[in-house]
Amino acid sequence: MTTHPLLQHSGVVYDYQLIIRPPERVRARLDQVRQRLQEQLLPFSQWVPGKNHVPVASFSQYAVLENKLTDRLQEIAAQVPPFVMQIENYGALLHHTVHFRLLESAGFSQLLQYLRREQTALQVMHQSAKLASLPKINVAYKLGPTDFENTWHYFKSKKLHLHFVADGMLLLRRRRASEKWQIIRRLGFENQPALQQQGVLFAA
């Protein structure tokens, strides 16, 4: 019986994230929105402010495979051309999260399509990769029911129009859930043709 390639490895397992980070001018504008939320609406409530990035994927992998993993992710990213992401007003995930709504993007969808083809590489045993279902940036999450209702009532009629060019993504890593995420590599979108075939990560 053939042993699955992942079973050949043992030892340290890292958690990883792929994210798209907007430029500083956009992040500053988003922080202004959260500051107003903190000062005017939820000064004494327990809630978690969102991060200024667009989640792309989260997964785990053995530390010994990190170099192969990052090289393969760079090859995938290099096939994607830079694309525009547009923030258009606000949205909500009922009962707990309010987010900056991002319009659908063909470039973002293409990136997810490429990553779906690499599902085997982005997992350890039964832990499958989690790919974004839609692009978004959270304003606030882990809101209690009352705070959510008040926050969404405040934001649902507000207008916000921003855009930026996504020209790459960041690969983040941590060893334990209690640790902070560290940036380990920037993966540029370069619109280059594929150099290698799917499955290269675990090739002999």
Domains of the chain: 12-194 (3.90.1140.10)
Strand residue runs (E) in 63-150: 83-93, 97-102, 130-131, 136-141
pLDDT higher at 151 or 165: 165
Is pLDDT at 33 greater than 60 in this prediction?
A: yes
**Is residue 150 very low, low, confident or very high in pLDDT (cuts 50, 70, 90)?**
confident
Q: Which residues contact 85 (CB under 8 A, 6 or more apart)?
A: 20, 22, 54, 102, 103, 105, 108, 135, 163, 164, 165, 166
Is pLDDT at 135 greater than 60 in this prediction?
A: yes
What would the mean pLDDT of 181-197 be, rounded to a whole number? 83
Unique residue bearing structure tokens 């008040």: 150
Which pLDDT tens digit goes with each residue over 64-123? Answer: 999 999 999 999 999 999 999 999 999 998 889 999 999 999 999 999 999 999 888 788
pLDDT at 44: 59
Percent of the chain whose predicted confidence (pLDDT) is above 70 = 88
Six-digit token string for 87 = 């923030």
Residue from 184, 177, 202 nearest 15 by CA = 177
pLDDT at 119: 82
Residue from 37, 29, 55, 52 nearest 148 by CA = 37
Unique residue bearing structure tokens 């958690």: 15
| pTM as predicted | 0.85
